[in-house]
Amino acid sequence: MDRQQKKAEPKGWGERLRASQFARISSLYLLLSFTSTHSPGGAEDQVLHRAEAHRVYSVLKSHGADLGDGAAWKVAFTIASESRKYSLDPELILAVIRVESGFRRRAVSSAGARGFMQIRPFVADALAEELGVEKWKGIESLDDPVTNVKLGVFYLAYLKQRFGDLRLALSAYRWGPTKVQSRLEAAQSVPRGYAERVIKFAALYRRQQRSFL
């Protein structure tokens, strides 16, 4: 997880998130449902998808992700498919996982964020409702690495759609959309250190993937 302590959102943020921001998430979900590719179609797509999952798997294993081989493959295919679904690079998702949790699926921050993508339970509850996650069991479900990745990728896609800028989306993922929005409205600078770290690692993984081919 990020070495820096996660700062809590302003009091009442959870209610505002559920009421207003997740109205936007609902709209985004409908949009993405029509525009995304949920699974590779033709044989060539399937081959490319498997190759992409293999590259993701190699990164997970190289970082010592605390997963058995079977679970690592499930997470690798999830990262590959969910990234494609929401038009995000799998290398970006790997970079978020590296900065957020250091590839430790049991990581828990001082603010209560959990798992590979460090999602707080109240945010996860709202995301799971929007995505229609079956048999959602709160923290127990959030601690499942596949579910954790699915929620995290969807949340990042929502933030990118909302702010229209990857760096702002990453900053909002780290600091919370309320803080980022309020700083933008006040014409104040938005902390970019986290976003730059993620982008740096994503670029590193892309270079590694090119050498993998």
Q: What is the per-residue pLDDT across 149-172, written as a single tens digit (0 to 9) for each?
A: 999 999 999 999 999 999 999 999
Domain ranges of the chain: 13-212
Confidence (pLDDT) at 42: 67
What digits encode the pLDDT tens for the residues 68-103? 999 999 999 999 999 999 999 999 999 999 999 999
Q: Which residues of the chain have pLDDT under 70?
A: 1-44, 47, 211-213
Question: CA–CA distance from 113 to each of 58, 147, 171 (Å)?
Answer: 26, 14, 16
Q: Determine the pLDDT at residue 65.
A: 92
> Whole-prediction pTM value?
0.80
Query: How many Å separate Cα 129 from the centre of its chain?
Result: 17
What is d(CA 154, CA 32) in angstroms, rounded to the nearest whole number? 10
Query: What is the pLDDT, as a whole number, of residue 63?
Result: 94
3-state secondary structure 33-94: HHHCCCCCCCHHHHHHHHHHHHHHHHHHHHCCCCCCHHHHHHHHHHHHHHHHHCCCCHHHHH
CA distances from 161 to 103, 113, 165, 208 (A): 26, 23, 8, 28
Nearest to 100 by CA among 17, 169, 6: 6
What per-residue confidence (pLDDT) applies to 31? 45
Cα gap 175→169, rounded to integer Å = 10
Look up residue 62 and give its amino acid.
S
CATH number for the domain running over 13-212: 1.10.530.10
The per-residue pLDDT for 119 is 98
Predicted local confidence at residue 35, as pLDDT: 40
pLDDT at residue 45, as a whole number: 72
